[in-house]
Amino acid sequence: MVPLSWFLILGAFMFSSGLFAALGRRNAIAVLMGIELMLNAANINLVAFWRYGVTPMQNLDGQIFALFVIAVAAAEVAVGLALIISVYRNRRTVNLDDLDILKG
């Protein structure tokens, strides 16, 4: 049996990579990719805790939560990319360093 901590450590690694991509990259699409990595890491955690729960065959909450996260992530990526394309049409750049008009 694979120990539960292995699943969780893999999830933690993917989450940290996603966090660095979301915080430290210049392109807006790369930030979105980081967000997707973070959501996947959360999903891995959810499924791992479902599997190692008390009654995985009756209590399917982990899997259902993971399915909802997958669907919501799909919706969010669609809207996010539409926003990025709209910004590109207006400003001709998706470089986040150049999109700081609202900065104080």
Partner 1 sequence: MPELPFPLPPLPTVAQVVFILIAVLAVIGSLMVVLARNLFHSALGLVAAFFGAAGVYIVAEAEFIGVSQVLVYVGAISTLITFAIMLTRGMMFGATSPRNRQSGTAAIITVLAFVVLAAVLQAIPWPQVGEPITDGQVIIAGLGYAFVNQYVVPFLLLAMLLLVALAGAIMLARDRK
In the region spanning residues 18 to 47, those forming contacts with partner 1, defined by CB under 8 A, are 18-21, 23-30, 32-34, 36-37, 40, 43-44, 47
Q: Is 99 in the site for partner 1 (CB under 8 A)?
A: no
d(CA 77, CA 95): 18
Output the CA–CA distances (angstroms, integers) from residue 30 to 51, 63, 64, in the order listed: 32, 28, 28
Q: Which of 3, 101, 103, 104 binds partner 1 (CB under 8 A)?
A: 3
In the region spanning residues 42 to 81, those forming contacts with partner 1, defined by CB under 8 A, are 43-44, 47-48, 50-58, 60, 63-64, 66-68, 70-79, 81
Nearest-approach distance from CB 73 to partner 1, in angstroms: 7
Q: Is the dihedral of CA 10, 53, 66, 20 positive or negative?
A: negative
Nearest-approach distance from CB 31 to partner 1, in angstroms: 9
Phi-psi region of 92 (alpha: psi -120 to 50; beta: other; left: phi over 0): left
